[in-house]
Amino acid sequence: MDAEKSKLLKSVRMHGFAVIEAQLFLDSHPTCKEALEYFRKHQKEYEEAVAEYESKYAPITVSGVNSDDEWTWATKPWPWERSEN
Amino acid sequence: MWQYKKKLEYPVNIKNPNPALAKVIITQFGGPDGELGAAMRYLSQRYTAPCNEVKAILSDIGTEELGHMEIVSAIVYQLTRNLSIKEIKEGGFDTYFVDHTTGLYPQAASGMPFSAATFQSTGDPITDLTEDLAAEQKARLTYDNILRLADDPDVRDPIKFLREREIVHFQRFGEP
């Protein structure tokens, strides 16, 4: 995987993970202002990183498929392959 | 409902196949304290949970466990790539190979197939949440044992991530 793609995927994973952590914490602390702020920050950065990755490389969700020429959801590699990590 | 994200929660990039280690790690796919059982446990228990916050925790941790099942499966898949018959025999992988080739099958390291008999859904929130706390410790212990058996840093890295998640889940289940 080229360096730019790898860096962008790392950013997707990092903010995606922060969102999961915030989500679980907020489930048991649903009015924690600090956690809500943390969630908003990383959710925004996650969405931006996903949009950039999907526009340059491959879909992460079906809503990110570029359907102009082919069904990239199926034609691009799957994430359990070494080359995709 | 669920929607798939076409990425792993944590990366898996293993250079060297190792069928003997795959046969051990597969226990966290379909074994008694594995990720499939964890996901099924929480996603079964959530319907009768007493309040919305507990429904949220069970739904979200159950969902994350599905992502962990995918990481464990990716580790086993990459550890069993391009094996020769000699490597399969020498790694003790022949007893798995004869039934499944290198397909992913949910089983314990001992060969016992996945069973819902490894978990409960009682309809009693105190009982269920107490089981969930113990389940996270049992999974953490299994990852500790895998770390005792695995030398390869490419394998240890995602296993350490999974181990840490058990500790966070234990914390969350203790809060309601």
Domains of chain B in sequence order: 19-173 (1.20.1260.10)
Alpha helices in chain B (DSSP H): 19-25, 27-30, 35-45, 52-79, 85-90, 94-100, 125-149, 153-173
Q: Note whether A20 contacts B57, CB cutoff 8 Å.
A: no
Closest chain A residue by Cα to residue B15: A82
Mean pLDDT for all residues in chain B:
98
> What is the pLDDT at residue A69?
92
pLDDT, one tens digit per residue, over A42-51 is: 999 999 999 9
Question: HEC states along B60-109?
Answer: HHHHHHHHHHHHHHHHHHHHCCCCCHHHHHHCCCHHHHHHHCCCCCCECC
Per the CB < 8 Å rule, is B11 touching A17?
no
Domain boundaries, chain A: 3-61
Q: Which residues of B touch A (CB under 8 A)?
A: 3-15, 53, 56-57, 60-61, 64, 70, 73-74, 77-78, 168-169, 172, 175-176
- Residue in B74, B129, B153, B137 with CA at minimum distance from that of residue A28: B129
Residues in chain B, overall count: 176
CA distances from A13 to A9, B55, B81, B157 (A): 6, 26, 25, 15
Share of chain A above pLDDT 70, in %: 100
Q: pLDDT digit string (tens) for B18-32?
A: 999 999 999 999 999
pLDDT the model gives residue B176: 83
Nearest to A21 by CA among A34, A38, A6, A5: A38
Residue of B nearest to A13 (CA): B9
Q: How far apart are CA A12 and CA A46, in angstroms?
A: 6
Q: What is the DSSP letter of A64?
A: G
pLDDT digits (tens, 9 = 90+) for B96-111: 999 999 999 999 999 9
Q: What is the mean pLDDT of residues B67-94?
A: 98
Mind listing the pLDDT tens digit for each residue in B142-174?
999 999 999 999 999 999 999 999 999 999 999
Q: Chain B neighbours among A 20-79 (CB < 8 Å)? A: 20-21, 23-25, 27-30, 58-62, 73, 76, 78-79
pLDDT for A1 equals: 82
